[in-house]
Each structure stands twice: as C-alpha cells, then as structure tokens.
Amino acid sequence: MTGLLDIRRLSVAFGPTRALSDIDLALEPGTRLGLVGESGSGKSTLGLAVLGLLPPDAACTGEVRFQGEPLPWSDDRAMTRVRGRRIGFIYQDPMAAFSPVHTIGTHITRALRAAHPGVGRREALDWSVALLEEVEINKPRERLDHYPNEYSGGMLQRVMIAAALVGDPDLLIADEPTTALDVTTQASVLGMLDRIVEARGMGFILISHDLGVVAEACREVAVMYGGKLIQRVALADLKAEAHPYTRALLEARPTFGKRGQRLSTIADFLPSDWFDDA
Ligand SMILES: Nc1ncnc2c1ncn2[C@@H]1O[C@H](COP(=O)(O)OP(=O)(O)OP(=O)(O)O)[C@@H](O)[C@H]1O
C-alpha cells in the first residue's frame, strides 16, 4: 500500500538557525498524529514545509512524498491545487482568515468553487450548508448570510474547518487550531474535529504544544525538541513509554488534580538528571 505521507531527511534552516534537522516521518492513510513540543521546537515549520508554505528565505532540503509522489514545492500552481484539494490546512487565528466585508456564505462558496471549478452557484450553496452542518453549526442556511463579526471565535473556527474540507482532502493539518479559544469551546471544537476526522477516514496531523489537546483527537504522538523528532508513540503507551523529555511535557500540563501544586517547568533538556528535581 502506498503511504499517505512520507517525510524523508527534511531539514530547514533560517540563516544560522536550524529549525528542522533530518526529520523522517511516515504516515499511513487515516493516521491521526499529534505533533507536540514546546515553542520553537519546529512543529509549525514542519507543517508549513509539507504544505509548501515556508518563507522564501528558508533553506529546505530533503523530500516529502504525498500518496507516493514527491510534493511539487517549486511549482506554485501545483502546490495550490494540493492545498485546495488533497491536503486541508487549519491554523490558529480564525479572525485573520475571514474578510469582514463578505458573508460566511461567500467565503465558503468561493472556496468550494475554487476547488471544484465546474460547480454552479446553487449546488455550491447546498454544499456549503452541508459543510456547515458537518462542523455542527445550527441553522446553517440562515447563518450563511451572516458576516464574520456576527460569529463567535469558536464558530469561526468551525467555519475555517469547513473551508479546509471543501476539496475532500485525504490529509488535514491543523496548527494549534483551538489555542485562541476558551477551554469549553476548545473542548467542543476538538470533539467535533475528532468526529469529522473519524467519519471521513482522513489522515490528521494536529500540531499543539499541549499533549492534552492532542489526546482528544489523535491516536499517536510525535514529540519534537530543538528541530528533531525525539519520539513517536501510540497515545495508549505514552505514560508507560514516555521519553524523559516527553514525560516532562506531560508533567508541565496544568490539571485539576494538581491544583495548589507548583507546575513543572521544562528546563534545558538534560536526560541524565531529568527526574532529580521532581
Ligand atoms: N520565518 C522565520 N524566520 C526565521 N526563523 C524562523 C522563522 N520561522 C521559524 N523560525 C525559527 O525556527 C525555529 C522553529 O520554529 P517553529 O515556529 O517551527 O516552532 P514551533 O514549535 O512551531 O513553535 P511555536 O509553538 O511557538 O509556533 C525557531 O527557532 C524559530 O525561531
């Protein structure tokens, strides 16, 4: 079987900064992988590299194959087609994704008609309604006529997810998709993402600094540190098999059980004496 995504020896540098060093990562179709690590570990750079969206000053080596074919990074038009149809992308700030002067319906139907040029106005409208239903927005037909400022942050994030689904992608990459939301909304958006990814059987890469977020919607985690991939493990085995740095990430999570206790902090990574300050 051809794999979904095959990242081989991917390295990215911004001048003297090595953002990614020799990443190898393969995903089978339907794999749901959380990519975790602290700020600056290279998670976003990895997502952007796969999508061909690195800034021009990034020096990138290595190869990424998608469904068996190398991604055509140097061909802008071909990459635009990949992003519109085969790989969906969701990022953190829903507000920035929408123009305030167009209705939500205009945004979605435009995205649909860009991904499927033959689709007529009427069909695009019905399809948009179905997509808003899929992301669990009530009264979708009515809400298509609303403007972004009439939507809450959580609802806008749902619309952004709907827009990422217009091309029926085989892989969805989400970079901190719920970080801008309050905790309750975050949980409901993650639950919805989990249901959609499951129902569509898509591959899913969820980028987050928070292992708890990843646990809501993924089955495996890949842990990054300093531009390197240091561990990949099934979530079910995480506690038993956590690499010392992964364990530190787990312990740094605020949970209700730890109320009143000091949170762990992640110091420079020194594996040999890592547990001494517990
Ligand atoms: N456009 C850029 N120009 C210069 N350096 C960059 C650029 N983008 C990322 N970097 C550097 O590459 C490294 C990895 O950054 P990246 O944003 O991928 O990390 P991250 O794990 O996604 O962090 P965060 O969670 O804060 O987004 C960092 O050292 C960062 O400063």
Residue 209 CB–ligand 1 contact under 6 Å: yes
45 lines ligand 1 (CB under 6 A): yes
Q: Domain containing 111: what range?
A: 31-42+76-241
Nearest CA to ligand 1 atom 28: 40
Amino acid at 66: F
82 assigned to some structural domain:
yes
- Domain membership flag for residue 66: no
* DSSP SS3 for 229: strand
- The number of domains in the chain is 1
In this predicted model, what pLDDT tens digit does every residue of 111-133 receive, in sequence order?
Answer: 999 889 899 989 999 999 999 99
In a domain, 149, yes or no: yes
Evaluate whether 223 touches 36 at the Cβ level (below 8 Å): yes
Is position 22 within any domain?
Answer: no
Q: Provide the residue type at 189 as one letter.
A: V
Digit-coded pLDDT (tens) for 177-190 = 998 888 889 999 99
Cα–Cα distance for residue pair 127/121, rounded to 1 Å: 10
Exposure b/e, 248-269, CB count within 10 A at least 16 = b: bbbbeeeeeeeeeeeebeeeee
pLDDT of the chain, 278 residues: tens digit per residue: 579 999 999 999 999 999 999 999 999 999 999 999 989 999 999 999 999 999 999 999 999 999 999 999 889 899 988 988 899 999 887 777 889 999 999 999 999 998 898 999 899 999 999 999 999 999 999 999 999 999 998 999 999 999 999 999 999 999 999 988 888 899 999 999 999 999 999 999 999 998 889 988 999 999 999 999 999 999 988 888 778 888 887 777 665 445 555 555 555 543 333 333 33
In a domain, 256, yes or no: no
**CATH number, domain with residue 167:** 3.40.50.300
Atom nearest to 176 CA in ligand 1 = 25
Residue 89 lies in a domain: yes
